[in-house]
């Protein structure tokens, strides 16, 4: 277990600055996600913390101690990759034991630790199999077993669930969260999947272009996005963004409203209303999404009962004032809920 403090971290590849003066403080025992689009620098930042990439500036501290000059082995971290990286010719038992044998621990300790990790992950029956004889989910568990077997202070995971099918992903993320709680370990989990980050994390570092856009609890980034990037990245379907002139907002601002907060209503009355032509009713189970053309924009709204609504109809949509977010046209900062 360890707290992590990153200050002014920069990382370049040649002339290309991938991370530019990044600050982040992670508490001991927190589950943190790095969330952002592909190419924004999540893996690079993770590898800098792991010691697999050298940094070009700034510092990384574990429990207050500078570690950026230490090699990966000296940092007491463990890393789980997307492709699991198991040794194909070794049994599950030997794969999990591998980092312990590298540390030259005696075989009694190795056996004890492997048995503990296998028990925690429920993979005892698999110990004598080769990786080729495992399903994707089982391989993932073995990779996690190999990572936790040394009792690392920090567990770093780079898109560890991306290769699994949808239902298994959901199951594995519950398991990973449970495991983290049991071990009380600090976890950094890299993902481009906002739902995964929302469900798993104590806090999410939303990243774009090598910078942290917001670092806060899941519902905080959802309800009070710091800027337009965060507002657009978190939440599905995406928040609607409308120029002020379409919906009567202030000049110099874009109005954001989430589809779940925008509903059909009988007439143009209330805090925020829009009128447009219904293009499509999309069933989404307990409710439906409505795609409505408002001027040049397609706006998404939700509706519990679309009876009587058909494409081509003119519909009026309304939202409560509290649901509106205003973003500066210039720079995208959210301006209506800053403390």
- Which residues of the chain form contacts with ligand ADP (CB under 6 A)? 13, 18, 36, 38-44
- Backbone φ and ψ for 137, nearest 5 degrees, come out as -65, -40
Q: How far is CA 135 from CA 120, 129, 164, 233, in A?
A: 18, 11, 10, 32
Q: Any contact of residue 95 with Mg ion (CB under 5 A)? A: no
- With CB under 5 A, what is the number of residues at the site for Mg ion? 1
138 binding Mg ion? (CB under 5 A): no
Q: Is 5 helix (H, G, I), strand (E, B) or coil?
A: strand
Chain Cα centroid distance, residue 76: 23
From the list ligand ADP, Mg ion, none, pick the one residue 18 interacts with, judged by a Cβ distance below 5 to 8 Å according to partner type: ligand ADP
Residue 51 binding target from ligand ADP, Mg ion, none, CB below 5 to 8 Å by type: none
Q: How far is the CB of 111 from Mg ion (least distance, A)?
A: 35
By DSSP bridging, strand 186-191 and strand 31-35 are parallel
Instruction: Give CA angle at 185 (161, 153), nearest 5°.
Output: 105
d(C-alpha 89, C-alpha 96), whole Å: 13
Residue whose C-alpha is closest to residue 36's, from 220, 164, 215? 215
Q: Does 214 bind Mg ion (CB under 5 A)?
A: no
Q: Which residue lies nearest Mg ion, judged by its C-beta? A: 43
Nearer to Mg ion, 92 or 207 (CB): 207
Question: Binds 39, which of ligand ADP, Mg ion, none (CB < 5 to 8 A, cut-off by type)?
Answer: ligand ADP
Alpha helices in 201-307 (DSSP H): 218-223, 228-233, 244-247
Which of the listed partners (ligand ADP, Mg ion, none) does 156 bind, with a CB threshold of 5 to 8 Å by partner kind?
none
Separation between Cα atoms, residue 20 and residue 42, nearest integer Å: 13
44/68 with CB nearer ligand ADP: 44
Q: Which is nearer to ligand ADP, 54 or 63 (CB)?
A: 54
Cis peptide leading into residue 237 (ω within 30°): yes
- Pick the stretch among 28-36, 40-48, 195-203, 302-310 that binds Mg ion (CB under 5 A): 40-48
* Of 43 and 213, CB closest to Mg ion: 43
Q: Closer to Mg ion by CB, 43 or 180: give it.
A: 43
Record the tokens describing residue 165, joined without a space.
């099918």
- With respect to ligand ADP, which residue has the nearer C-beta, 42 or 146? 42
DSSP string, 91-123: -HHHHHHHHHHHTT--HHHHHHHHHHHHHHHT-
Query: Does 43 contact Mg ion by CB under 5 A?
Result: yes
The yes or no reply on residue 208 touching Mg ion (CB under 5 A) is no
Q: Catalog residues that contact Mg ion under the rule CB under 5 A.
A: 43
């Amino acid at each position: 277990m360890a707290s992590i403090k990153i200050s002014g971290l920069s990382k370049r590849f040649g002339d290309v600055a991938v991370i530019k003066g990044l600050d982040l403080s992670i508490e001991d025992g927190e589950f943190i996600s790095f969330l952002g689009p592909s190419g924004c620098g999540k893996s690079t930042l993770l590898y800098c913390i792991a010691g697999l990439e050298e940094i070009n500036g700034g510092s990384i501290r574990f429990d207050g101690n500078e570690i950026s000059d230490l090699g990966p082995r000296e940092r007491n971290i463990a890393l789980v990759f997307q492709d699991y990286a198991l040794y194909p010719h070794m049994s599950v038992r030997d794969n999990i034991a591998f980092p312990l044998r590298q540390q030259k621990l005696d075989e009694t300790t190795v056996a004890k630790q492997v048995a503990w990790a296998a028990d925690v992950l429920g993979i005892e029956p698999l110990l004598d199999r080769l990786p080729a004889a495992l399903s994707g989910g089982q391989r993932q568990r073995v990779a996690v077993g190999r990572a936790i077997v040394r009792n690392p202070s920090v567990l770093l995971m780079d898109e560890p669930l991306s290769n699994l099918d949808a239902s298994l992903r959901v199951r594995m993320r519950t398991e990973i969260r449970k495991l983290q709680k049991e071990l009380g370990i600090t976890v950094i989990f890299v993902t481009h999947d906002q739902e995964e980050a929302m469900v798993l994390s104590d806090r999410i570092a939303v990243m774009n272009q090598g910078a942290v856009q917001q670092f806060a609890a899941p519902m905080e980034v959802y309800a009070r996005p710091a800027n337009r990037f965060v507002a657009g990245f978190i939440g599905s379907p995406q928040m609607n963004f409308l120029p002020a002139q379409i919906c009567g907002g202030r000049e110099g601002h874009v109005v954001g409203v989430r589809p779940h907060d925008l509903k059909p209503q009988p007439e143009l009355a209330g805090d925020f209303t829009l009128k447009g032509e219904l293009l499509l009713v999309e069933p989404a189970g307990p409710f439906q999404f409505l795609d409505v053309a408002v001027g040049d924009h397609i706006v998404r709204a939700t509706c519990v009962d679309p009876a009587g609504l058909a494409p081509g109809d003119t519909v009026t949509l309304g939202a409560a004032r509290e649901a509106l977010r205003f973003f500066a046209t210039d720079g995208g900062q959210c301006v209506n809920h800053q403390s």
